[in-house]
Structure 1
């Protein structure tokens, strides 16, 4: 009976964890194999080289943070406000996950500052997010300028909330986030 092969998804998830923790330089085959408790030989059964793994990591991230989220939102049905509420809940719940988590998102944004191909992929993801938000907000908000402002606020709050260190007066961050969601859905 042969040894059980480490699933491809485990390599990708561990790669995303390494990326989130230390940027693309931290995604090293030996380190990933050690974290997975396997030899690095199994890596080559799935990936030609490190660059192929980095591409798979980006493919997985792109699918999970854009298409998969949209699929989850749409599967629940409801009007645009209900879908936006579901979207906000999904995004809020994903702040610590290895793929959809804020840390992975920020690491990819940092990487995009130094790599044109990653920057193009990030632009594609952000445009997909914005297009989806536009489709939802425009169903109950007829003013195109207001739709665009709400979309940018929603995306900016998602990205920037993790970086914002100021106190929120007598309110908790969760309370302020609830106020933002409420205002966006008016």
Structure 2
């Protein structure tokens, strides 16, 4: 049974578009396939958006919100920087699924689109700011904190990238412990 168009919100459409982006980049955001996935008619889409570009913009805003500052708020609220870093690393390692699509990596393929480039930039900035602040609170001077944050973030993105092709990754708990050992200052 199809959902009524009034039951689906604009955010439902945006979240479905985010999943489509993860699977195939911006080109995968198409109204008819999304309507089928959501179990509704195209009319439901037009109740919320005028066109596909509005949906892409909303999807990128949704991803930026959920993976940028707002998505990091629970970690930012952890007062102990060592615990914050452990929790961040653990969350990343446990969220990475073998062969799972990634919005972040898919958007890199669309980096010539200014909307995709801006969304990735804003998420990267939020993540790097939190990591830099965390390393600063752990006692590293500002330049070293920023450098360590970049290296840690590069490793995090590398784990996401490896998950795209590795059907048999190491156990998440072991990876989280090793990541903490590598990225927490001694």
TM-score > 0.5 by shorter chain: yes
Q: Structure 1 segments of 4 or more deviating over 6 A? A: none
Structure 2 partner of 1:47: 49
C-alpha distance in structure 2 between counterparts of 1:43 and 1:177, whole Å: 41
Normalized against structure 1, the TM-score is what?
A: 0.82
Report the count of equivalent residues. 175
1:1-186 alignment runs, 5 A limit: 3=4, 4-75=6-77, 77-96=78-97, 103-112=102-111, 114-164=112-162, 172=170, 174=172, 175-186=174-185
Q: Per-residue CA shift, 1:117-155, capped at 9, x if unaligned? A: 321332222122111111111012333343223211221
C-alpha distance in structure 2 between counterparts of 1:46 and 1:148, whole Å: 41
Q: Per-residue CA shift, 1:11-49, capped at 9, x if unaligned? A: 112111111111111110011001111101011111121
Q: Is the 8 Å Cα contact of residues 133 and 145 (structure 2) preserved in structure 1?
A: no
Q: Is the 8 Å Cα contact of residues 12 and 57 (structure 1) preserved in structure 2?
A: yes
Q: Is the 8 Å Cα contact of residues 21 and 103 (structure 2) preserved in structure 1?
A: yes
Q: CA RMSD in A?
A: 2.5
C-alpha distance in structure 1 between counterparts of 2:95 and 2:140, whole Å: 30
Query: Structure with the greater relative contact order (CA < 8 A, sep ≥ 6): 1 or 2?
Result: 2
Residues 86, 177 of structure 1: alpha-carbon distance in 2 compared, 3 angstrom cutoff:
closer
Residues 73, 157 of structure 1: alpha-carbon distance in 2 compared, 3 angstrom cutoff:
same
